[in-house]
C-alpha cells in the first residue's frame, strides 16, 4: 500500500502532459525530414563550389558534376585578375554591412520604442507614418533626387547605407516585441528610482530585446550584403562600388564580349583572346558573393526563432 502511494506521484510526474511527448517513431520521422531538408539546402552549395573549380570545357561537355573531371581555377584567376579592385569592393561591402547593420538596429529600436509605449500621445500617428511607407512610395525619380540633389550623397558610402537604414516592416515587428515582451513594471520601477528615458532605453530595454534585435541585425546584414542596386544607381566611380555590383558588372562585360563578334575579332587580332570561363565564373561569382555572409548566421541563430515569433505572432 505504501509502495503504491509512493509510486503514484512519480507516475503522475512521468506521465504529465502526454500530449507534448512524441513517440519514438515520430521523433525519428521528424529528424529524418529535417536531415533531408538540410541536405537539400547544402547539396546545391557543394555543387556550386565544385563547378566553380571545374574546367569550362568539361562543364560544357559533361555538365555540372560534384567531382570535377578536370580541376581548374581559371574562373577565379579571371575573377581576381584585378585583385586590388576586388579587395577594395570587398572592403566597401564589409564596411557598409557592418555600419549599416549597427545603425539600422539602433535606429529601428529608437523609433519602435516610443510608439510601443501606451503613454506616448502620438504613438498612433507615427505608427501610421511608418506603415504608410510600406504601402506607398514616391517613385524612383523623387527617391533619386532626394539623395543626389537634396542630401548630396552621390558617390559616397552613406548613399549605400541610408536608403536601407529603417525598414518599416522591422519597425513594426520591434514595436510589437517591445509592447508584449518588455514588462511595464520594470520600466515603472526604473522611473521611480530616478532613471531617465535614455538610460531606461539603453540599459533596460535594449538588453531585454536581444532576440528581436538579433533578428533585425541578421536580416539587415543579408540585405546590405546582397545589395547591388544602390551601387548601380548612385555610384559612378569604380573605387566605391560594392562587391555584388562588381560581380554583376564583370558578368555583364563577359556576356557582352562573348556575344559581340566584332569585339571578339578585335581581341583575336590583338592576340589577347582567351576563352572566357562563363559558366564556371558564374559559380565562382556566387561563391565569392555568399562566402562571408554564410558565416554570420550561426552568431544569430539562437535568437532568430524567438525574436521572429515573439515579435510577429503575438502582434
Domain boundary residue, one of 34, 53, 74? 74
d(CA 236, CA 154): 8
Q: Which of 10-14, 112-116, 248-252 has the highest mean pLDDT?
A: 112-116
Q: Judge whether residue 245 has pLDDT over 60.
A: yes
Burial class (CB in 10 A: 0-12, 13-18, 19+), 241: buried
Using one digit for the tens of pLDDT, what is the confidence trace for 111-149? Answer: 999 998 888 888 889 999 998 988 888 888 889 999 999
In a domain, 15, yes or no: no
Cα torsion 132, 135, 138, 143: sign: positive
In a domain, 1, yes or no: no
Other C-beta atoms closer than 10 Å to the C-beta of 217 total 22
Residue 161 sits in the same domain as residue 82? yes
Helix axes 278-294, 210-226, angle to 10 degrees: 160
In a domain, 4, yes or no: no
Residue 60 sits in the same domain as residue 158? no
Residue 38 sits in the same domain as residue 168? no
pLDDT at 16: 47
d(CA 109, CA 174): 7
Question: For residue 76, what are the CA distances in angstroms to 17, 61, 156, 197, 259?
Answer: 57, 20, 29, 53, 21
Using one digit for the tens of pLDDT, what is the confidence trace for 202-237? Answer: 888 888 888 888 888 888 988 999 898 999 999 988
Which of these, 247, 226, 264, lies nearest to 76 by C-alpha position?
Answer: 247
What end-to-end distance do the CA atoms of the chain give, in Å?
53
Domain boundary residue, one of 53, 74, 95? 74
Dig out the grid coordinates for 168 from the structure: 518599416
Residue 207 sits in the same domain as residue 270? yes
Q: Which domain holds residue 142?
A: 76-312
Using one digit for the tens of pLDDT, what is the confidence trace for 151-191? Answer: 888 988 999 999 999 999 999 999 988 888 888 888 888 88
Percent of the chain past pLDDT 70, that is, above it, reads: 80
In a domain, 131, yes or no: yes
Question: For residue 259, what are the CA distances in angstroms to 157, 217, 268?
Answer: 34, 41, 14
Dig out the grid coordinates for 248 from the structure: 554583376
Q: What is the 3-state secondary structure (H, E, C) of the chain?
A: CHHHHHHHHHHHHHCCCHHHCCCHHHHHHHHHHHHHHHHHHHHHHHHHHHHHCECHHHHHHHCCCCCCCCECCHHHHHHCCCHHHHHHHHHHHHHHHHHHHHHHHHHHHHHHHHHHCCCCCCHHHHHHHHHHHHHCCCCHHHHHHHHHHHCCCCCCHHHHCHHHCCCHHHHHHHHHHHHHHCCHHHHHHHHHCCCCHHHHHHHHHHHHCHHHHHHHHHHHHHHHHHCCHHHHHHCCCHHHCCHHHHHHHHHHHHHHHHHCHHHHHHHHHCCCCCCCCHHHHHHHHHHHHHHHHHCCHHHHHHHHHHHHHHHHCCC
Residue 144 sits in the same domain as residue 249? yes
Residue 59 sits in the same domain as residue 101? no
Which of these, 234, 231, 276, lies nearest to 249 by C-alpha position?
Answer: 231
Q: How far is CA 228 from the centre of its chain?
A: 13
d(CA 172, CA 176): 6
In a domain, 82, yes or no: yes
Residue 60 sits in the same domain as residue 114? no
pLDDT at 9: 43
In a domain, 161, yes or no: yes
Residue 85 sits in the same domain as residue 29? no
Residue 66 sits in the same domain as residue 151? no
Dig out the grid coordinates for 169 from the structure: 516592416
Residue 102 sits in the same domain as residue 38? no
d(CA 126, CA 165): 17
Residue with the three cell numbers 575573377: 79
Number of domains in the chain: 2
- For position 130, which CATH number holds? 1.10.3720.10
Residue 234 sits in the same domain as residue 123? yes
Residue 136 sits in the same domain as residue 238? yes
In a domain, 2, yes or no: no
Using one digit for the tens of pLDDT, what is the confidence trace for 80-91? Answer: 877 888 888 888
Q: What is the pTM of this model?
A: 0.77
In a domain, 5, yes or no: no
Amino acid at each position: 500500500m505504501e509502495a503504491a502511494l509512493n509510486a503514484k506521484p512519480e507516475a503522475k510526474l512521468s506521465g504529465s502532459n502526454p500530449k507534448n511527448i512524441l513517440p519514438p517513431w515520430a521523433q525519428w520521422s521528424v529528424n529524418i525530414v529535417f536531415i533531408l531538408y538540410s541536405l537539400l539546402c547544402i547539396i546545391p552549395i557543394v555543387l556550386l563550389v565544385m563547378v566553380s573549380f571545374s574546367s569550362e570545357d568539361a562543364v560544357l561537355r559533361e555538365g555540372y558534376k560534384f567531382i570535377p573531371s578536370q580541376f581548374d581555377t581559371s574562373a577565379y584567376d579571371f575573377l581576381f585578375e584585378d585583385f586590388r579592385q576586388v579587395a577594395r569592393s570587398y572592403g566597401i561591402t564589409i564596411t557598409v554591412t557592418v555600419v549599416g547593420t549597427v545603425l539600422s538596429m539602433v535606429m529601428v529600436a529608437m523609433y519602435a520604442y516610443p510608439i510601443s509605449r501606451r503613454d506616448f500621445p502620438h504613438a498612433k500617428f507615427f505608427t501610421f507614418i511608418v506603415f504608410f511607407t510600406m504601402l506607398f512610395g514616391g517613385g524612383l525619380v523623387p527617391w533619386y533626387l532626394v539623395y543626389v540633389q537634396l542630401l548630396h550623397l552621390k558617390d559616397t558610402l552613406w548613399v549605400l547605407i541610408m536608403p536601407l537604414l529603417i525598414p518599416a516592416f522591422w519597425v513594426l515587428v520591434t514595436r510589437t516585441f517591445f509592447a508584449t515582451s518588455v514588462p511595464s513594471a520594470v520600466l515603472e520601477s526604473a522611473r521611480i528610482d530616478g532613471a531617465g528615458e535614455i538610460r531606461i532605453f539603453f540599459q533596460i530595454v535594449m538588453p531585454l530585446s536581444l532576440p528581436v534585435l538579433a533578428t533585425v541585425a541578421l536580416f539587415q546584414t543579408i540585405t546590405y550584403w546582397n545589395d547591388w542596386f544602390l551601387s548601380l544607381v548612385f555610384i559612378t566611380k569604380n573605387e566605391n562600388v560594392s562587391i555584388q555590383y562588381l560581380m554583376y558588372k564583370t558578368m555583364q562585360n563577359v556576356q557582352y564580349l562573348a556575344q559581340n563578334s566584332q569585339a571578339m575579332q578585335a581581341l583575336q587580332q590583338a592576340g589577347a583572346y582567351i576563352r572566357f570561363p562563363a559558366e564556371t565564373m558564374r559559380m565562382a561569382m556566387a561563391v565569392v558573393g555568399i562566402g562571408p555572409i554564410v558565416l554570420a548566421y550561426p552568431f544569430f541563430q539562437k535568437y532568430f526563432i524567438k525574436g521572429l515569433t515573439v515579435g510577429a505572432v503575438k502582434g
